[in-house]
Each structure stands twice: as structure tokens, then as C-alpha cells.
Amino acid sequence: MSSSVLKLNTLPAGNDVIAALGEVAVAFKHLASALVQKILAPASVQAKNLTAFEEAEALRSYAASLQSQDPDFAQDLFAAADRHEIEASALAVAR
């Protein structure tokens, strides 16, 4: 059985530690700012609930934008939009 010893004789230089702490402080500032905005945002600013038709239309628009780059994936998205709309219609009728 053999063993390995790993020696860590190098510590970061003082300037590197200070720079890293500065970056952490900036990241914390951004996080705190985002949290405050999220908490204090009025309810009217929050996203509006879309109908199934609006969701399906948004997905169809996205699929159309991808049609030239990836036609197979676009067709899958078109089919998913159709399924979503049909499913929502069936649930509405069942109520």
C-alpha cells in the first residue's frame, strides 16, 4: 500500500484575497438589490396569467422563429402547442 502526501505551501497573495473579497462584496450587493426589488415590487408588476391559447400562440411564434435552423424541433414545438391547446379545451369542457 502506498500513500501520497500533498503539500500546500502556497497561500494566495494578500492582494488576491482583497480582490476576491471585493468581488464577493459586489456580488452580495447585487443579490441584496435583487431581493429588495423582488420583495418590494408591486403585485401589478408581476407576470399576468396567460390563457392556454395565448401560451400556445407564444410557443408557435417561438417555433416559427426556429423553423429555418431546426425544422424537426420546430415541428415538435408546433405539435406541443397543439396538444396544450386541445388539452386545455378538453379540461374547460369537462368543468
Q: What is the pLDDT of residues 42-68, one digit of tens each?
A: 655 556 788 889 999 999 999 999 999
Residue 86 pLDDT class (50, 70, 90 cuts): very high
Residue 74 pLDDT class (50, 70, 90 cuts): very high
Q: Is the pLDDT of residue 76 over 70?
A: yes
**What pLDDT sits at residue 5?**
67
Q: Is the pLDDT of residue 38 over 60?
A: yes
User: Rounded to an integer, what distance in angstroms lies between the CA atom of residue 47 and that of residue 45?
Assistant: 7
Q: pTM for the full model?
A: 0.50
What residues does each domain of the chain span? 14-45, 52-94
